[in-house]
Structures are given as structure tokens and as C-alpha cells.
Structure 1
Amino acid sequence: MVSPGELRIIDELIPNGEYKPEISAEGTVSYPNVTQLLDDVDDDPADVLEHFATRGVLANEFVSKVYVCPECTTEGLQYTTVCSACGSAHAIETTVLEHVCGYAGPETEFDAADGYRCPDCEMDLESSDVDETDRYVCEECSEIFDIPDERLWCRECFSLFPPVDAIERVLYRYRLTADGEQWLDRQKDARQTIAEVLADRRFETEIDATVTDDGASRSVHVLAEDDLLDERRIVSIHETPDEERIDAFCAFANSIDAHPVVVTTSGAVEEGVAARADGSELTLLAYRENGAIETSYETVESADTHRQGFFQRLTAALEVPGKGQ
């Protein structure tokens, strides 16, 4: 199923070209234009875009990568270093002095009124008596070391963890493919055609309409109402309707006292959906390549498998040159 919100984001690419990710100062990634077009019931914008890229409707182009916390999935992690012995982040790069007696410590421990004094053997020292290096000193356990361990710090849950434990997310920009444009046309044509069919039957129709149920709003592809006869239809456009989504759609239709109408743009439905249409609770129609709406359709065992095959057949057919070419 393509939801009304998903159809909006694909349709919007015709005039606007592409969707680019935006990264805030805190590292949060968003696709604000997509978020505005999707409905609350739709999936995360990045997941929706990637779904259509996998289908071939959209093309994705690599932008960058971000990392999220494995504990709370917050984006915008901060790099830090920690003590290699105790793991504390309170490990600071410091000037360290080492005396020939073997004692090493921060330069401040050697300070004396008239020069340096070893805090271990208490010998007064000249600067030439000590080796001076920049090393890390842990303020928690006093460990001195050359190279700290690397960590990422989550600003939300304050977890510290090795970079390899962070969840990597790849960011893309998305544009509509030629095949996707043809796919979009088919979905929109099916939606427009069923709206006109219902209008011919004296229904007042609205495309991409918002329906309210107990205060909650939800978008539908087509809303058709006949106030005189107190009848209402809501329409959902699918490629290959599957049982789970149709069950949810029928439940919503029942909650607003509307009759559900489902239009398959591939001409096929899952067997369980066909069984529901055998009764009176669901009207199931097929949109044909010639633009006709029919009541006949085929059944398939798996909607996902058929949907992938249908898209491949559709795009292949579009590549066939016309007569005279």
C-alpha cells in the first residue's frame, strides 16, 4: 500500500527535484520537507524514503554518515577520550616530569619555591635532571599513559561507549527516477479514475481527504459521500493489497461508518483479501493499464513477491520502444 502521505512525498518531487537531509548543530538528522507531507500514522521519513529507493521509485545518492547511541538511539554523539585503566573521561593531557629515580608525575607535583623537587625522593632538581613529556593523567585513578582510549558520549543518556558500538546511519539525498515517475502516474491515475466513477454515482468526492474519527484525523486517498442517502465510501489505492493492511483499513472504515473500497493497481490481491471481498464488507476493484476500473482481479499467495515482480514488469514495459522508433 502507498499511503496518502507517501504518495504526497513522491508527487512533490516532480516540481522540487530532491530531498536533502538536514543535520542540526546537535547532530540530529531530519528531512523536514518529507516530515511536513507525511501523516502521523506513516513511518519515519528516512525509512519511507529508503523503502521507495529499494523499490526503484527513488534514487539515493550518498551524503554522509552519522552515528546514534546504542542505548537510547539519540543522534549527535560527541567524541571524547577516557583513561585506558579505569575508563574515566577525566583524563587530561598534561606536562609530565620523570626523575632519574624513576618517579613520574604532573609538573605541578615537582614545583618548589626555588625550582623543582622530586615528590618521591625529595631531591632538589635542576631542569636538566628531569625528562619532560606531554602525557595523559587520569584525575580519578592517577594513571599516566601516552594514548587514551576513544569513546563516544551520548548527550541524552550520558552513556560512554567505543565508537565501534555506535549504530551507523547512512544519509542520502533522494530524487525521483524515470521508472518512479511512471509508477507515480499509475497510482494517481487510479485515484483520479475511482474518484470520477464515484462522482458519476452522485457521490461528492474529495481526493487526499482528511477524515476524523473520535477526534483523531487520518488521510484517505478518496472520500466519497452522499448526504441524501447518508452513505460514505473511503478508498485506498494499493499495488497488491495484503491482508494485514486491508484488515486495518476495513477496521478504520467501520469505525467511521464508511464502506471500504480498495483499488489494486497491479490487478492482483492476496488470497485472504479476496476472501474478504467475497462478502459485503469490502469492495475490491482493479485498475487496468487502459485506464478502466474493473471488478475482476487475480489472487496471489504473497503480496510482497508479486509487488516486486509487477514493478519490474511495469518498468520493463515502459522501456519498449513504440512503433516507428
Structure 2
Amino acid sequence: MMGHISLLDAIANGDADWLEPSYETNTQSVRHPIVGESSETLEILFDEDLLRREFVKRVIACPECGADHLKFELQCPDCHSGNTVPVDIHEHTVCGCVQPREAFSEDGVERCPECTSDIESFAEECELMGTMHHCRTCDGRFDSLTEYLDCPDCGPHTLTDVDTYRLHRYRFNEDRRGWLDRLVAMRDDLTRGLEADGYEIELGGHCAESAPRTDLQATDPTRETDLAVEIRDSINVETISDLQTVVDGTEAHPIVATAGESGSAATLAEEHGITVFEMGAANERTLNESVSGSSNHAIDRLFASVPNTSSSKALLPQ
């Protein structure tokens, strides 16, 4: 996932302790602050142990209009009437007759409707077998009723037809604070260095309203090449594939800035036209010096690694 450092920085250092969820009827979607409708983004970060997650509630919504104020109803399986009542079913232990309680009463006398013998003690001679549902509209009796959820605008829906949403809230995993601070510092060092070299910087991230972007985008109308920089502690095949997808169709040159040696992944990245810029401790010191104005070696080294350039100035039109 691209732009995750800038996104995590916004979550970890935002005003709210939690990104609280909300269900929106008009879009039939779950939204969170910062990421909009991109709950999948938060789930990815949770799976990577970068976020904490807590269940908030379940929302059941109409599959047609998205309304989440459905009413649970029970109805007769035959005539679909809601005019049903529960009735106790008893067995006459003498003859085995099984009937509702009221069937054992005739003219005020308790009598079995099957063997017609009088019942001296109903509690001793009859046993409760369970409960059935009696429909007063069609006079049917059923072991169970049809369950459905009624939308006031669209009508009834079965329980399997409705849409179900599990809403969670998320917060940054403070156990990863040191890791995040280190990568944010890398991003900020690059930002200051590129700004000192004349670039305009826009920090990236991911939200539902726009396409995924890298952690840092650098543009300068006087140069031929924009830069799309992703900050990673390490790179792999997935990183290369994701970055290539994000910059595909754009004029930006893709760069991955890493915290250490990238090994064989750097070779694979270069084969795909992606520049790998390793920022070890020594490199970070050099970059910090360039920010203060005493040196520009780190930025020159970055652009020297971009194909067909020997320094940042080489990108200027001739």
C-alpha cells in the first residue's frame, strides 16, 4: 500500500484518539476520518500490526436504499399475516393426545378431546411439550414463523438479503512509534532537501476520494521530471509492483527511499525503472547538512541515481 507513512503520521499525531466509524445511508458505505470510505486501507494497516482495532457495532441495512432503521418482524409462513400468537402444546399422558391447552377444555370441564375422559388434575395428567405459533388469520399452527426485516420505504427483506456492516474504530499502535518516527524523519529530511533544491512538495496518503499516492510528490515546473517518492524501511516485490501501479500513466519518476541496504530488491527495482535511494545513518547526516545549507551532496546523490541525470541541476531544461 502506497503512502502509508504519511497516512500513519496523520493518524498517530491527529487530534482524535480513535478513528471512529460512521455508516452513510446515501453511499451505503462505512467511513472513517482521514481515509474516507477506505476501510480496507485500515484493515491492511491493522493486519500489519500498525493499528489497533476495536469492534463498535453491527449495522444492518436495506439492500435497496441503504436505510439502517429496519424493523424486525415475524409473520405466518402460509398467509404472511403478522397476527400470530404463541400457544402451549400439551400431551395427555393417558392416551397420548397432543393438543393446545385450550383443546382440553369443553364447557368449563377439562376433558381430553381424543379419549373424551375427564381430566381430574391437568398438572398431573398432562405434560407440556413445547410452544407453537397460531395464526389467527388462517388458523394455521407452525413450529416457527418467518423472520424478516422491514424497510419503511422498500418493504420486507429476508435476513439473508440485507446488507451487514461490521463497524470498527482504529488507532495507531504505540508499540510502533519508534519505527514510525524514524521513517517520518526520513520523509521530512527528504522534503527539506528537495525544497531547498527548488521543488514543491506535496505529502501523499490514501483516501477514498482520490487515487493512492506515494508518501511524497515533488514537482518543479522548471524541470522535466516530477518525482514520486515512497518511504520504506525495506523493499520487496510487492513494493515494486505497488509503486509501479501508482505512477503508471504519470510523468513522475518513481523512487523508493529505504532505511538501509536493499540488496537484490534494488536490482529488480532498477529493472522496472524504479530508483532505490538508501538512507543509512551516514546518508541521513549528509542530508541534514544539505538542509542547513552547508552541503547538497545527498540531494545530488539522489538525482545521480535517477537515470540520465548526474545531479538535481541536470534536470533543468537546456
Please, what TM-score do these two structures have when normalized by structure 2?
Answer: 0.57
Take 1:187 and 1:200, find their aligned partners in 2: how far apart are those partners?
20
Question: Contact (CA 8 Å) 1:93, 1:135: kept in 2 or not?
Answer: no
**1:188 match: secondary structure:** helix
Paired residues, number = 245
Q: Determine the structure 1 residue equivalent to 2:114.
A: 120
Structure 1 residue runs without a partner (length 5+): 25-29, 69-78, 80-90, 161-168, 297-325
* 1:264 partnered with 2:258: yes
**1:36 match: secondary structure:** coil
Q: CA RMSD in A?
A: 4.9
* 1:233 partnered with 2:240: no
Higher strand share: 1
Q: Determine the structure 1 residue equivalent to 2:267.
A: 274
Instruction: Name the aligned partner's letter for residue 50 of structure 1.
Output: F
Change (3 A) 1:269 1:226: same
Question: Contact (CA 8 Å) 2:7, 2:205: kept in 1 or not?
Answer: no
**Deviation digits for residues 237-281 of structure 1, max 9, x if unmatched?**
11211122212312432311211111112x13362442332x582
Please, what TM-score do these two structures have when normalized by structure 1?
Answer: 0.56
Displacement, 1:119? 2.9
Q: Determine the structure 1 residue equivalent to 2:194.
A: 198
* 1:286 partnered with 2:278: yes
Instruction: Name the aligned partner's letter for residue 217 of structure 1.
Output: A
Displacement, 1:284? 1.0
Instruction: Name the aligned partner's letter for residue 276 of structure 2.
Output: L
Instruction: Name the aligned partner's letter for residue 194 of structure 2.
Output: L
**Deviation digits for residues 10-56 of structure 1, max 9, x if unmatched?**
543345474377698xxxxx995xx33237677353x235324x3xx
Take 2:194 and 2:240, find their aligned partners in 1: how far apart are those partners?
20
Question: Contact (CA 8 Å) 2:30, 2:37: kept in 1 or not?
Answer: no
* 1:183 partnered with 2:179: yes
1:98-109 aligned within 5 A: 98-99=91-92, 100-109=94-103
Displacement, 1:103? 0.9
Instruction: Name the aligned partner's letter for residue 281 of structure 2.
Output: E
* 1:13 partnered with 2:8: no
Q: Determine the structure 1 residue equivalent to 2:68.
A: none
**1:183 match: secondary structure:** helix
Q: Determine the structure 2 residue equivalent to 1:97.
A: 90
Question: Contact (CA 8 Å) 1:224, 1:232: kept in 2 or not?
Answer: yes
Displacement, 1:196? 2.4
Give the share of equivalent positions with the same residue, in percent. 17
Q: Determine the structure 1 residue equivalent to 2:305.
A: none
Q: Which has the higher contact order (CA 8 A, sep 6+)?
A: 2
Displacement, 1:139? 6.9
**1:37 match: secondary structure:** coil
Change (3 A) 1:255 1:195: same
Take 2:21 and 2:206, find their aligned partners in 1: how far apart are those partners?
29
**1:96 match: secondary structure:** strand
Q: Determine the structure 2 residue equivalent to 1:82.
A: none
Higher-Rg member (1/2): 2
Question: Contact (CA 8 Å) 1:92, 1:136: kept in 2 or not?
Answer: no
Question: Contact (CA 8 Å) 2:87, 2:133: kept in 1 or not?
Answer: no
Question: Contact (CA 8 Å) 1:220, 1:236: kept in 2 or not?
Answer: yes
**Deviation digits for residues 190-218 of structure 1, max 9, x if unmatched?**
1112222322332222222789xxx9633
Displacement, 1:285? 0.5
Displacement, 1:112? 3.3
